[in-house]
Amino acid sequence: MNVASLPRRRAIGNPLGAPTPGRGARTVTVVKTVAAYEIVQAAYPHPVTERDELGIAVGKAIDGALSRYSHEFNEARRPTAAAMNRLASQMLDEGLAETSVTLTPADRERELTQVAGVLQAFRRSEVMGMRRPKSRLVLVNDKAGFYAQPDYWNGRDIFYEMKSYRADPIPPAVDLQLRLFQLAFPRFRAILACYDRHATPVTTSLVEIGPIEPAESDRILHLALSTALTLGKNKVLEYVDSPILRYSVGE
C-alpha cells in the first residue's frame, strides 16, 4: 500500500470553473464514491428494528444539538443548557416523525432526560468548542473512494468520533468506522469519545485508538474500493472541493 506524497490538507485537481488545457471539450475524470458509513453498513448489515430506529433518532438529536452547542461556544457565544435541550427536543421529535416509533409521554421524557445528561457531560469535556472538520475524499487506485468526516477535530493533530453509549469493547462496526477516518486523517490521533446516556449520571470516556497497521490498512482499502465500485455514485474528480488523499493497492 502506497500513499501519494501530497499535501494532506489541499484538494487535488481543478476546482469548479478552473481553466483546463486545450480548446476543445473539457477533460474530466469520473470516479465512484460512497460515504464511510455506507462501507460500514455493507460490511456489517443487519435489519433495522424499532429499537434501532429509536436509537438513531436519539443519536441524531444529540449529534445535532452538540454540533450547534460546540459551534456557538467556539464563536464566543454561550448558549444555555435550556436552549440546547429545547433544540434537542425539537430534533428528536423530527427524527421520530420519520420512523414507525411512537413514544408515550413518559418514554419521551425519559429519552430527553438522557439527552440532557449527554449535553451536560459534553459541556464539561475537552471536546466542547471544537469544530467538525471538512469532509475528505480517500481515493483508491484513482478509481473509487469514500468521503470521511469525523465528528470533531482540534484542527491540528487530533480527531474525535462521538458515541452516546458505552462502546467498550469497541464494536467491529465502530472500529471499521474509526479506521476509515484514520485513512482520511493520517498522522492524526484518533479519539473515541463516549458519553453513555444509559448511565445515571452520564459517564464519559475518551479512548485513544492505536495507529492502523499496514496489513489492516490494505484490507480496509480493498474493502473500500470494492464497496465504492459496487455501490458508489459517479463523481467528476475535477469538481471535487474536498481535500483528496490518494492510496494505491494491488488488485
Q: What is the pLDDT of residue 157?
A: 97
* Model confidence at 13: pLDDT above 50: no
What is the biggest distance separating any 2 CA atoms in the chain, rounded to whole angstroms? 68
Query: What class does CATH assign to 2-44+133-248?
Result: alpha beta
For residues 112 and 134, give the distance between their C-alpha atoms in angstroms, rounded to a whole number. Answer: 30
* Model confidence at 187: pLDDT above 90: yes
> Quick one: pLDDT band at residue 227, thresholds 50, 70, 90?
very high
pTM for the predicted model, two decimal places? 0.86
For residues 76 and 83, give the distance between their C-alpha atoms in angstroms, rounded to a whole number. Answer: 16
Which residues make up the CATH 3.90.320 domain(s) of the chain?
Answer: 2-44+133-248
Q: Which three cell numbers stand for residue 251?
A: 488488485
For residues 239 and 30, give the distance between their C-alpha atoms in angstroms, rounded to a whole number. Answer: 10
For residues 123 and 128, give the distance between their C-alpha atoms in angstroms, rounded to a whole number. Answer: 6
Q: What is the pLDDT of residue 110?
A: 95
* Model confidence at 4: pLDDT above 60: no
Burial environment of residue 183 by CB neighbours within 10 A (0 to 12, 13 to 18, 19 or more): buried
For the CA atoms of 123, 134, 215, 42, the dihedral, rounded to the nearest 10 degrees, stands at 90
On whether the CB atoms of residues 144 and 31 are closer than 8 A, the answer is: yes
For residues 160 and 81, give the distance between their C-alpha atoms in angstroms, rounded to a whole number. Answer: 22
